[in-house]
Chain A
């Protein structure tokens, strides 16, 4: 049995039912259920979310990618700073990255003002943070592996040999 196959299918579409996954993998439905439970219990699967195209929503939804540089000392490591930042509900993703800056942080809010205020009032004052560079998301074309455009119509003939 391939846990990985179940994982791949859940990543493709978390709403596939256990029955659907069973059909695709030749597993029994209860085996799929057990595998999913195990993946969740082991912390490999941490949750399920919809992939949303916010640009289609009437209400404004503002997202920003923030580059953060930090200064470490003997008492404080990356994990400590990350733990502090990750607690903010406005932060939707946080990653330590290699390159010109240390953390790559995704932030969401209802307005530019709200996001700006959060960064200037909550993030920038964190003593270890030495620099923030905020990039507001203007248009999103792909999220979580899913393209957000209108999608191309299937223009194949309905019957072909």
Chain B
């Protein structure tokens, strides 16, 4: 898995092509055409979401499915906002603490497993990593019972716990791989100065961990925000996060109202899209650091 954390490197310098300049130029044009074609294909669903979310009821005919709205209206957005706003608030309450806690635990684990090693550290690491790949369906029934027995209220509180617990493997992986790149001499120097394990972590590793924290925060934020599996098992439409609310909106009474559903889908995606746009550069690193829950 270490291969996954290597950054996307610099562009290779232009090749000295053996082919003639004319053929080289033709090849380049073809390549740009293909790149643009991919852009169009990727963005088609976005066009549909955007355009439909501004269409009034009059635009609903199938014949006009791909056309721009005859009149642009904000009605769908208003309906979607009134329906989803409370759930968006709950999602934030869920995502922020669970992201911070699981990031911190992952960083401690990563430090120990990479730089304060003991015999059997790799086996412990592999055992932790396995938690990332299990299908959560295989623990869901007893998990339900356990959360009930622990007395944790259904809805956001239990979802915070679950995102912390099942986030540990991936955050540990990301931090461990990052700390592996820290030169061992740095740790040795701290040890020579008499620093213990905690002091070494706090004074030496934590200050240089910011890039990893950014990656982990993006990753966990996106995962917890987008999660539907735990959400649908551990909350109801009245106390659930935004994915549950959106699913109810899209499958509920307003079934045929694609305009509202699509405005809702865009609304529910805004926080992760903002994270993606603002921290885009690190997002790539985050994507490459491992797997996805789901």
Partners in one complex: no
Give residues in A with beta carbon < 8 Å to B.
none
